Structure 1
């Protein structure tokens, strides 16, 4: 029997309560992402390490998140998205408290890597919202609106985190006390989830494909490990390409294993659906600019103009530039549901990806002045902000019941892989011609142009792929609803 639930007063009330609590979760996620960056120099001094060593913390967290997100997303589909969200939050809280009191390179590295569990929060939240929305005739559009609000929380938290950490450290002079604040925030949202978020309804009789996940973990570990090694040793190392090649080859047995399973770790049959594979691939292509290009943009803004390029901005100026970029992402996230209603979800995705491409393409002729760079980042930020929440929501809309978490998690995993590949490549191309610069630490203009061009081409490739999404996909439709199920 097909039933629909109208979007009435009661449904909006409960939905607002749910979104409000998840808003707090993503606000905390943003704090975690923005809080530590202004403190990097102080953390390096506290641990007694070199500046370059901090890169290993980011690399370790990237490696860990690429592995845990698919597994936790699948467990959410099996046992309930709220339950797994609680587990991920508890593990994140434990790691964040450990960070506050870590006193050596090794302990900080382990704690920072284990903090990666927060990366699965957004995919699980989108899956949870959409699974409850399946009982409504407006579940898809409601998920898009909710995802946009969650991205607003994420970027607002990133801005707040960057501001709060500097203020608190200046006031206290104590790094452990400063690092305790995000731990307190994560602990509080655990209880917000526990007492305020309803559970989704997993399908019974599911099994965890341990063999498939083991092979997938090995493949991801080899590929991302090779990319991390590339950043450390450069592309000339034989070990870099050996690890990457082995990782790519490991995906072949993974595919064969999964296609033979009734309940695979990643259902490749679902992933190759016309409404799914362009969305998953787009996440990887957008990850190039979203995760890979932020450090080059920051260093370009700080480069001394004596080199013939660069903006020469101090730390405060660079922070302002990044803050404006994050605000544009918030605006993009809020506009996406409106554009989807005016056009269609498919066209809204295409427009968002095109904005990212145009923004980075404009860097090629226009990068000499701060205003030019600001305009470019505003355009790219509008598209990026729209896509951060829209892609998981689109994947959820295209997934069958029981695979929503895996689908939303895959957008995160491919985005991480895209960012990893880009980060490794950008680290190499920025060294091209660097010996000719005036200041010894500056990268080359040729390298920066290559970075912007790669970001633009990746976004335009996503635009082309999104045209393969069926015109009628990702829209609201009546869905099957169990009679005894609660409604939102």
Structure 2
């Protein structure tokens, strides 16, 4: 778009929302139908789980990298690249004749994880200041809702069109988002200085791959196996090397000074612990509900019915996400975050102690949606308020990444607990699920304690000029009261 043209912002948010929700659906629709994919492609149960893991690994690597590239090269251009990769990966998965091609497509789709930090950055660059907080909250809420909505929609789509439609339908939406991005998203005028570090990017990829492979495979390899311990040790060494390199770099991929800001590190800790609870639950609750009641628990639900029992999660998550900006304005981000964690803890307490009736699942999911929706929307606004504009993409990308890492940890812990409590037939026992739900609840208790550390309101920061980068950076580093609003 030529610089002299008036910048039309009317379609920016709808285009970004379409890209974000499409990415979330591509990521989550597959979880309930892994057995169907396993049978169709003639693979093993351990191999088919990589349909989820490959996507998670790829997203963990590319989300912060694309966020930083967008800050440097132009968010509009990099967003288009992310959407094209997301669509291409979905299309490859849709026609995959074997598990190898399926995994290639899923890994390519993970590149689309960059949509989230780029969307946050574009919102902050292009929308009027008074619209930034509500828009960020809506984007964050839709990302979380998409994760829950995928489980709800998977059953009906498979029943009507087959499981490959789970790739075709979101791919169509992504193509539409890519076309409208090309024509309607203005060229970025805010650029970050400095060189892009490929060494830092490689180290980031290596420690994330080592960590997530170890966490994902620990249930089958054994937590004490040499492979798991070796990968965890490698992850620690690579992480320390990466942090040292980033700390000394004049143009870091992730600004470690920014990551040490009180509002940033506390919010990232909440994201990590909430990720453990959310993704650990979504990976195992459908299987719990699909278990035959003859085993003493479960409802014998179909994929469709199990999804409907989780529908309150998506509905209340959406509503609370929309309400989060107003609640934050009134009570402050700290109050909203703490309140959200309280709802989540209550949900897991109910799920742990009472899960024999379907209404108990419905109530638990409604409470969890309220907590997750409000917290996720608020965390994004904390990050936006706490960092300078040119670091918005990288900071939110890392926050999303930390949530994904937490999700991998939650899934791994649940797999180990459930797998350690099995019947002679090899099927999980009710006790295994109950202990697992309790552990996820404890993660949410930890999130509540972390939320208490988030700085209160940020009136002083709000009074700073939006583009006053040095003032924002200094405020974030010293922990000016009010960063968290």
Q: What's the offset of the Cα at 1:419?
A: 0.9
Find the aligned partners of 1:259 and 1:178 in 2 and give their Cα distance: 42
Residues 153 and 307 in structure 2, CA contact (< 8 A), matched pair in contact too: no
SS in 2 for 1:434: coil
Tell me whether 1:180 sits opposite 2:168 in the alignment.
Answer: yes
Question: Does the aligned pair in 2 maintain the 1:258–1:267 contact within 8 Å?
Answer: yes
Contact 1:393–1:408 under 8 Å retained in 2: no
Cross-structure match for 2:412: 424
Following TM superposition, by how much is the alpha carbon of 1:43 offset from its aligned partner in structure 2, in angstroms?
2.9
Of 425, 428, 433 in structure 2, the residue corresponding to residue 443 of structure 1 is 428
Q: How many residues align?
A: 462
* Structure 1 range deviating more: 202-211 or 62-71: 202-211
What does residue 450 of structure 2 align with? 465
- Correspondence 1:239 to 2:231: no
Q: 1:369 aligns with which of 338, 354, 357?
A: 357
Query: 2:308 is matched with which residue?
Result: 320
Which residue matches 1:200? 188
Aligned counterpart, 1:263? 251
Residues 21-420 of structure 1: pairs in structure 2 closer than 5 A? 21-37=15-31, 39-133=33-127, 136=129, 138=130, 142-151=131-140, 153-154=142-143, 170=159, 179-420=167-408
Separation in 2, partners of 1:371, 1:82: 45
Query: CA offsets, 1:212-267, max 9 Å, x none?
Result: 22222211111112112213323242211111122012222222222211211111
**Which residue of structure 2 lines up, in the alignment, with residue 453 of structure 1?**
438
Distance 1:466 1:443 in 2: 34
Query: Which structure is higher in RCO with an 8 Å CA cutoff and minimum separation 6?
Result: 1
**Equivalents in 1 of 2:189, 2:219: separation in Å?**
43
Cα distance change on mapping 1:396 and 1:319 into 2, 3 Å: same
- Quickly say closer, same or farther: Cα 1:251–1:80, change in 2 above 3 A: same
**Aligned-pair CA distance for 1:204:** 5.0
Give the Cα separation in 2 of the matches to 1:398 and 1:177. 41
Cα deviation 1:41-90 (Å, max 9, x = unaligned): 44333322234432011111111111111111111111122221111111
Moved more, 266-275 or 459-468: 459-468
Shift in alpha-carbon separation, 1:26–1:446, aligned structure 2, 3 A: same
Scaled by the length of structure 2, the TM-score of the pair is 0.87
**TM-score (norm. length: structure 1):** 0.87
- Describe the shift of the 1:255–1:176 C-alpha distance in structure 2 as closer, same or farther (beyond 3 A): closer
| Distance change in 2, residues 1:81/1:382 (3 Å) | same
Deviations, residues 148-176 of structure 1 (Å, cap 9, x unaligned): 33355446656776676655655566x66
CA RMSD of aligned residues (A): 2.6
Q: Does 1:477 align with 2:463?
A: yes
Partners of 2:138 and 2:20 in 1: CA distance: 9
Query: SS where residue 275 of structure 1 aligns?
Result: helix
| Matched position secondary structure for 2:285 | helix
Closer/same/farther in 2, CA of residues 14 and 401 from structure 1, 3 Å limit: same
Deviations 1:358-406 (A, max 9, x none): 2112223222221112211211111112233332232121112321111
Question: Matched residue of 1:479: which SS?
Answer: coil
CA contact (8 A) 1:77 1:203 kept: yes
Tell me if structure 2 keeps the 8 A contact 1:91–1:114: yes
Q: How far did residue 314 of structure 1 move?
A: 3.3
Q: 1:20 aligns with which of 14, 17, 42?
A: 14
Q: Distance in 1 between matches of 2:467 and 2:166?
A: 48
Structure 2 Cα separation of the partners of residues 159 and 463 of structure 1: 22
CA distance in 2, matches of 1:169, 1:426: 26
Aligned counterparts of 1:466 and 1:345: Cα–Cα separation in 2 = 9
Q: Specify whether residues 161 and 74 from structure 1 end up closer, same or farther in structure 2 by C-alpha distance, changes over 3 A only.
A: same
Change (3 A) 1:305 1:411: same
SS of the residue corresponding to residue 352 of structure 2 reads coil
* Deviation (angstroms), 1:24: 1.9
Where structure 1 has 5 or more consecutive residues not aligned to the other structure, the ranges are: 1-10, 483-488
| Residues in 2 aligned to 1:299 and 1:172: alpha-carbon distance in whole angstroms | 22
Is residue 12–residue 185 contact of structure 2 (8 Å, CA) maintained in 1?
Answer: yes
Residue 475 of structure 2 corresponds to: none
Query: Structure 2: how far apart are the matches of 1:247 and 1:25?
Result: 32
**Partners of 2:152 and 2:304 within 8 A in 1:** no
